[in-house]
Amino acid sequence: MKWRRWGDVGLWVALSFPVLAESGTRHDPWWMQAACVLTLGAAVVLRRSRPLLALALVSWAESAILAFSIGTRSGVPVALVPAMVLLSYLAGRRETQLRHFVTLCSWTLLGALALSLLVRPEVPITEAVLTWLIVLLLALLLVVLPWLVGRYREQQSLLASAGWERAERIEREQRMAVAQERLRERSRIAQDMHDSVGHELSLIALRAAALELDPALGDEQRLAASSLREAAATATERLGEIIGVLRDAEASTVPQDESVAALVDRAAASGLSVELIEQGDAVLSPMVDRAVHRVVQESLTNASKHAPGGVVTATVVREGDQVMVTVTDTGAQRPVPKVMSSTGRGLDGLRERVRLVGGSLHAAPRPTGGFEVRAVMPREGGRPEPEAPAGSSMVERDRVRRSAQRGLVTAVVVPLVLGAVIGVVALGYYLVAGYSSILRPPQYDGLAIGQAENDVRRALPAMEMIDPPSEAFTPPNGWTCAYYRPDEPFSITFAYRLCFAGGVLVEKAVVQSGSVPPTPESTR
């Protein structure tokens, strides 16, 4: 807490130094300097708990100073600008209500315009409006842009923390779901192993029983055959008990000894339009054979759920040392019933089944429509492929990154677009006022000192110059002076000054408005 207070004091001193330096140069009154320093102190204290209020204090102070400075030759005060930029950024980091920030900026800018018109009524409205447009353009750069950057940084932090937490949670859930499906598939494999190994043990027991009854054997050999039969029966029973413990009740696949052709026939009998294409007659190992059956079975189940009315083609190619299973469908030909629900984990189980026999599985939509499942496995089986990492949450993380990037683009593009629009409006306003304040040389020559003001006004253009020459001229008391340009904007080096007093024209003069003094030829 102590270091925090010292940090506040250091920030206050750092922000107050340019204010005191500028005010000393401008010879501002002491009360004005004290008010600015106290305002900065209050803003530094409030920047954490009330960031928008802190920004409002400094913005209103700058608006008031600017309103009193317009139309004078003391220059534009800029010492509070660094504090405005910093407080705007901090407000963006801590303030989540966009409408509050927009409301503050809108009322501050409108108040600055109204205040400048009230405290400096002698300043032409055109000059006040143009100055306000320039202030509006600078506000986008010095207030809105820092606020948007701060808001982007805050949203990026929130998205990062929330997004990574959600990504990790999704990843954990996905891993658990995939692991559950793998266990279910392994329980099916355990059932297949029970059927295969149990069948072989049954044959061993049967042959041992035949030897036990063979009269050609001696008593010792028949006793050994009896022991072998009992051991085979006991092994079969123990195998059944173990498989029963490992096996998931939901993982049964009935019938266990069904062939792929019988599976396809059963699916066709249930109304599914399916065709089986078999190539090659190589013998598959029992585990690979069951894997082929499971790929076809799960693919037909998915097709019946998600592609009703579609045509399904199952192709089993047994060539060389591999077997390839491809199941494709043409997609749904009629609406998919909403009651059809799916966990979406069947393919994970298939991948585990195929992986355990040393193969690989690919499942994806077809470019021409429908879906395709393709599995390639060694005919004799093989070592399981390394487990692929559980489907991570990269999609979620990419979404978080894209959201943060969009925030950054918004933080940069929005001020640029608004600045461009306001710049175009300000330039258009300047051009309209410039072309509406042209007093041609013949018209100027036609004016005479002592001429009635009303007669002169009828010969003058609709508007006055909004950027009159900055020469040091102070009109006498009772005089009102106006400036007009002799030609289009950006093409003059002098201007006309007309002064009125007592209802008549008391002065007409050619004054320098650029770096090149006017010559007699240029004034005609």
What is the DSSP code string of 297-344? HHHHHHHHHHSTT-EEEEEEEEETTEEEEEEEE---SSPPPTT----S
b/e per residue 299-318 (b: at least 16 CB within 10 A): bbebbbebbbebbbbbbbbb
Phi, psi of 516 (to 5 degrees): -105, 120
pLDDT over 90 (residue 327): yes
What pLDDT, in 10s, does the model give residues 249-290?
Answer: 444 444 556 788 888 888 888 778 899 999 988 888 878 888
CA distances from 477 to 427, 457, 472, 499, 502 (A): 34, 21, 16, 11, 11
Question: Could you give the CA distance from residue 132 to residue 74 in angstroms, rounded to a whole number?
Answer: 18
Whether residue 201 contacts residue 235, with contact meaning beta carbons closer than 8 Å, is answered with yes
Residue count (the chain) = 524
**Highest averaged pLDDT of the listed ranges 55-69, 235-249, 343-357, 361-375:** 361-375
pLDDT over 80 (residue 241): no
Question: What is the CB neighbour count within 10 angstroms for residue 212?
Answer: 18
Confidence of residue 499 (pLDDT cuts 50, 70, 90): very high
Q: What angle do CA 376, 340, 355 make, to 5 degrees?
A: 20
CA-wise closest residue to 499 among 487, 490, 491, 507: 507
Both tokens of residue 292?
């082929």
pLDDT over 70 (residue 514): no
* DSSP annotation string for 431-466: HHHHHTTB--HHHHHT--TT-BHHHHHHHS-SS--S
Identify the weakest region by mean pLDDT among 133-137, 291-295, 502-506.
133-137
Instruction: Find the mean pLDDT for residues 488-495.
Output: 73
**Highest averaged pLDDT of the listed ranges 111-120, 320-329, 477-486:** 320-329
Q: What pLDDT sits at residue 63?
A: 74
pLDDT over 70 (residue 516): no
Q: What pLDDT sits at residue 254?
A: 45
- Of 327 and 47, which is predicted with more confidence? 327
Question: What is the CB neighbour count within 10 angstroms for residue 4?
Answer: 9
Confidence of residue 341 (pLDDT cuts 50, 70, 90): very low
Task: Tell the residue number behind the tokens 């207070």, with chain if given.
Answer: 5
- Of 298 and 130, which is predicted with more confidence? 298
Q: In terms of C-beta density within 10 A (0-12 exposed, 13-18 middle, 19 or more buried), how is residue 81 classed?
A: middle
CA atoms within a 13 Å half-sphere pointing along the CA-CB vector of 348: 19
Confidence of residue 328 (pLDDT cuts 50, 70, 90): very high
What pLDDT, in 10s, does the model give residues 3-41?
Answer: 667 776 777 777 777 777 766 666 677 777 787 778 877
Phi, psi of 515 (to 5 degrees): -80, -10
Question: Could you give the CA distance from residue 290 to residue 99 in angstroms, rounded to a whole number?
Answer: 64
> Facing residues of 319 across strands?
322
Q: 369: which residues sit within 8 A by CB, 6+ positions away?
A: 330, 331
Q: What pLDDT sits at residue 392?
A: 46
What pLDDT, in 10s, does the model give residues 30-73?
Answer: 777 787 778 877 887 777 777 878 877 787 777 777 766 665 54
- Of 349 and 457, which is predicted with more confidence? 457
Phi, psi of 508 (to 5 degrees): -135, 130
Instruction: Find the mean pLDDT for residues 114-127.
Output: 71
What pLDDT, in 10s, does the model give residues 153-169?
Answer: 776 676 666 656 666 67
Identify the weakest region by mean pLDDT among 66-80, 85-99, 177-191, 229-243.
66-80
- Of 90 and 122, which is predicted with more confidence? 90
Q: What pLDDT sits at residue 325?
A: 94
pLDDT over 60 (residue 432): yes
Instruction: Find the mean pLDDT for residues 430-440.
Output: 82
Q: In what order do the strands lie in the sheet with 494-501?
A: 480-484, 494-501, 504-512
The 8-class DSSP code of residue 143 comes to: I
Question: Could you give the CA distance from residue 107 to residue 14 in angstroms, rounded to a whole number?
Answer: 28
Q: 21: alpha, beta or left, given left = phi > 0 and alpha = psi -120 to 50? A: alpha
What pLDDT, in 10s, does the model give residues 402-425?
Answer: 666 666 666 667 667 776 777 777
Instruction: Find the mean pLDDT for residues 298-302.
Output: 86
